[in-house]
Amino acid sequence: MPEHDVVAFTQALIHLPSESGGEGPVVDLVLEEMRALGFDEVWRDPTGNAIGVINGARPGPTILLDAHCDTVGIAPGVPWQHDPFGGTIEGDLLFGRGAMDMKGAVAAMVYGAAAVERARLAGRVTVTASVMEENLEGAALKPVMEAVGAAYVVIGEATDLNLARGGRGRAEIHLETVGRPAHSSTPHLGRNAVHDMRRVIEVVEGLPLPAPDPLLGPGVLALTDIISEPYPGYSVIPSRCRVTYDRRLLAGEKEADLLDALTGAVATVVAARPSLAGLELHAAIAQGEHRTYTGAILRGAKFLPAWLLPESDPFVQAAYRGLLSAGLRPQFSAYGFCTNAAYSAGQAGIPTVGFGPGREEHAHIIDERVSVSALRAAARGYQGIVEAVLGGSS
């Protein structure tokens, strides 16, 4: 494998800004590289994802390697010591927006797949550089999986070269209180929705979370915004107030259970306090709708399930053996953040693992970076996983 080209390709990807909705030039470059490396089939799907296929010598299942190619933006006025789009290398570190999250994994997957020994494979390996993950995890991966019929999925999000066999999910929850408007000179004639929401927040913040999972860690509930209407509230008591909670999910948690727990706890408190009589609360999972650079619309509820495979799972064990054969010494781990695996594993139920260069805590930061040596190791690791799974040892 021409490992130095993995690094050069990552640099080339970093040179092209690709915030969500603007991935077109990066997808063009990925398709060009796949063709140059001899992929058997290469195309852009209607959603805008880059897809490349390498066929093995014999029929068999499809393993899908997925890495999203969109990035978050650069906050104005925040100083970087390295050009965010320069792809600068200092020592063993490659700097730039998307270096770790996750253009490095895109490059490593493309080169790792290109290096497989096709004569050993019963099946095919498909690589996708997917779009819009930063906006709605899994939404763009879904049509790829439907098109290629993936039997196994490898997510390239950062694991520090360990093997993730699970990941937390996330839910975006909207809570809304409805009051009654009045002139602010006579507030007693209205019902202040913000005051009602303050009481709701007190209840919600006191709710118990599920016991931490030994691998996934704790569930998390975080208040992320609060909005009142009308806004600005010139001389008027607000009649509506909406808050958003980000809830990090553990395996087995369901959408209905989540909402029932919230509304049930508030209803119990309201019933016990005459002063809260008449409080009106609505709870819902947020809905996402985003347009890709091709004009396709991605829609979906922002309830993205957690997932967890046992260490003994055959796919997990095959992937582990593949990494060992590549000279790596992975530990089993899990993602703390949400990934496209929320769809592949959490919703579609397809056996999924995660493996990638970099560390979770380096996502979205100033001077984002990835280790050059880790990029090369990741490419070997993806090759090892594919050959172990499709080579008859799974």
One domain for residues 198 and 237: yes
- 262 shares a domain with 137: no
Residue 189 lies in a domain: yes
Same domain assignment for residues 164 and 177: no
For CA atoms 225, 231, 233, 234, the dihedral sign is positive
- Give the residue from 289, 320, 350 where a domain finishes: 289
What single letter denotes the amino acid at residue 374?
A
- Taking phi over 0 as left and psi of -120 to 50 as alpha, with beta for the rest, 392 belongs to left
* 263 shares its domain with 335: no
> Of the residues 289, 316, 339, which one is the last residue of a structural domain?
289
pLDDT reported for residue 2: 52
Task: Report pLDDT for 36.
Answer: 97
Is 143 found in the same domain as 118?
A: yes
Which positions of the chain have pLDDT values less than 50? 1, 393-394
Q: Which domain holds residue 105?
A: 3-168+306-390
- Tell me the per-residue pLDDT of 143-185, one tens digit each, with 9 for 90 and over: 999 999 999 999 999 999 999 999 999 999 999 999 999 999 9
| Domain end point (choices 289, 314, 340) | 289
How many angstroms separate the CA atoms of 269 and 237, rounded? 24
pLDDT value for 394: 40
Task: Say yes or no: 148 and 179 in one domain.
Answer: no
Q: Are 47 and 343 in contact (CB under 8 A)?
A: no
**Any domain includes 98:** yes
pLDDT tens column, 261-311: 999 999 998 888 888 889 999 999 999 999 999 999 999 999 999 999 999
User: Domain total for the chain?
Assistant: 2
Residue 233 pLDDT? 85
Same domain, 104 and 129: yes
Asked if residue 162 and residue 144 are part of one domain, the reply reads: yes
Q: If 0-12 CB within 10 Å is exposed, 13-18 middle and 19+ buried, where does residue 357 land? A: buried
| pTM passes above 0.85 | yes
Answer yes or no: is 297 within a domain: no
pLDDT value of residue 393: 46
CATH code, domain carrying 193: 3.30.70.360
Whether 213 maps to a domain, the answer reads yes
